[in-house]
């Protein structure tokens, strides 16, 4: 029997939904691909036709929830916000969406959030690339020029550090993560500004 594109998409969606629920109830580590397949009503082998690993399932879930945030930022009218403030809004909006996956995110530090990640899996756009493209657009829009490789690396180090901190944050409603985000972005924005002042001809950091 030939599997149509619609059937494939529906199966993929069922796997993701089953994984979302199992990760939330049992946690990422305790949950197996077999359990995900059972919950999705497919054979374990079939699951691997869609996702190479359990981490890839998680990365797809994360990419799916943050995709909306990137789209929202394309249409946003934010003339009155500073770069630092808009960047804060962007990162915080992503964290809001990722909240159900908060504790599992460090798993992705070696894959989708890895500083060396590229558009790996065929249908899993790299979370990192999506995120950095938006940051680069924000930087440009605020007159801070192109992001240099150093700036990208610095920013991503701050971001992944924040995600790791967030996953372990035991403060009430993870308010310490907000404080850390505020400090980190203030530091990054000041550094970008300084770089721009030091190299005005290069048009950015």
Partner 1 sequence: MPPTIAELMRALPEESEALAEVALREPLAVAFRPVPVGRWRRLRLLASLQTRIAAAYLFYWVRSWFERADQKERLLAETHWKTALRLLDSMGYLRGAVMKVGQTLANFPDIVPREFVQTLERLHFDAPPMHWSLFREMVCNELGDDPENVFASFDKRAFAAASLGQVHRARLKTGEEVAVKIQYPGIARTIREDFRNFFLYLLPGRLNRDWQNTKEQFDDLRTRLERETDYSLEAAVQEKVRTLFREDDGIVVARVYPQYSTPRVLTMDRLDGVHVDEFMARSPSQDERNQFAAKMVHAWYRMLYAGRLSYADNHPGNFVLMDDGRLGVIDFGFMVAHSDDEWKLMHKVDRALTTGRPEDRIAVVKESCLITDESADAERLRLSEEFFDWTGGAHYRGGPFDFGDEADFRRGIDLFTEMVRKRYNRARPSMPAFARLNFGVRSMLYRLKAKFDVRPIAEEEVKATGWDRSAYA
Binding site for partner 1 (CB under 8 A): 81-82, 84-86, 88-89, 92, 96, 171-176, 178-180, 182-183, 186, 190
Cβ distance to partner 1 smaller for residue 44 or 157: 157
155-181 residues labelled b (16+ CB within 10 A) or e (exposed): bbebbbebbebbbebeeeebeebbebb
Q: How far is the CB of 183 from partner 1 (least distance, A)?
A: 4
Q: Are the C-beta atoms of residues 132 and 152 closer than 8 Å to each other?
A: yes
Q: How far is the CB of 153 from partner 1 (least distance, A)?
A: 22
3-class secondary-structure state, position 50: helix
Distance CA 202, CA 33 (A): 49
Q: How far is the CB of 97 from partner 1 (least distance, A)?
A: 12
Q: Are the C-beta atoms of residues 138 and 90 closer than 8 Å to each other?
A: yes
Cβ distance to partner 1 smaller for residue 13 or 171: 171
Cβ distance to partner 1 smaller for residue 14 or 196: 196
Cβ distance to partner 1 smaller for residue 55 or 176: 176
């Amino acid at each position: 029997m030939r599997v149509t594109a619609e059937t494939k998409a529906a199966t993929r969606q069922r796997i993701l939904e089953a994984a979302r629920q199992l990760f939330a109830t049992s946690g990422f580590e305790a949950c197996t691909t077999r359990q995900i397949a059972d919950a999705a009503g497919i054979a374990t082998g079939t699951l691997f036709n869609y996702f190479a690993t359990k981490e890839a399932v998680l990365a797809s879930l994360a990419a799916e929830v943050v995709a909306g945030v990137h789209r929202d930022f394309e249409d946003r009218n934010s003339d009155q916000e500073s770069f630092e403030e808009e960047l804060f809004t962007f990162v915080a909006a992503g964290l809001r969406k990722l909240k159900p996956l908060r504790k599992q995110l460090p798993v992705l530090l070696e894959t989708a959030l890895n500083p060396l990640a590229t558009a790996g899996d065929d249908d899993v756009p790299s979370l990192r690339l999506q995120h950095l493209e938006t940051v680069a657009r924000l930087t440009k829009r605020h007159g801070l020029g192109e992001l240099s490789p150093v700036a990208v690396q610095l920013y991503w180090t701050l971001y992944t550090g924040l995600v790791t901190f967030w996953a372990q944050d035991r403060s009430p409603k993870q308010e310490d993560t907000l404080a850390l985000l505020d400090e980190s972005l203030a530091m990054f924005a000041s550094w970008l500004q300084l770089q721009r002042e030091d190299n005005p001809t290069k048009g950015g950091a």
